[in-house]
Amino acid sequence: MRQNVQGAFDCVRILAAIAVLFSHSYALVKQDANEPLILLTNGGTAIREIAVYAFFAISGYLVTQSWMRDPSVIRFTTRRALRIVPALVFVIVASFAIFGPLTTTMSLSDYFSSPQAWTYLSKVLIYPVQYGLPGVFEHNPYPNVVNGSL
């Protein structure tokens, strides 16, 4: 029974994440007013708002459940860090070392000699916030933003 409930939570979390991506696609091209739920509610709410609330509510329940199974601050914090930090590091390093060089409008030597490219790696520390990589997405509606949600 417990696996069925866990599977249902996972399914809802995946659907919520997909709904957030879908809704953000309108915002990223500055067509937010055309997002279906915004149209339906006359600007009252967006799909991403409901999806984010659902995602965080379920995640909060699952994180609390994890704490209740083993209420040790050290083990709990370690498990949370091991779940989040490796993926964060991978996305930031891959964005810097693979995606950035493939999509920048700059030459590779200029890209890799740019201080902005190297300081992007500090995003792993969460602060200071840096959204852009040099020459990447310069002509998008939100120019120079890479992984803005991070």
Task: Provide φ and ψ at 61, rounded to 5°.
Answer: -60, -45
Domain range annotation of the chain: 1-69, 73-150
Q: Which conformational region is residue 65 in: left (phi greater than 0), alpha (psi within -120 to 50 degrees), or beta? A: alpha
Q: Rounded to two decimals, what is the model's pTM?
A: 0.76
Residues 6+ apart with CB under 8 A from 24: 48
Per-residue pLDDT of 37-81, as tens digits, reads 999 999 999 999 999 999 889 989 889 999 999 999 999 999 999
Q: What percent of the chain has pLDDT over 90?
A: 64
95-129 per-residue burial string, b: 16 or more CB within 10 A, e: under 16: bbeeebbeebebeeeebbebeebeebeebeeeeee
Confidence bin at 143 (pLDDT 50/70/90) = confident
Confidence tier at 3 by pLDDT (50, 70, 90): low
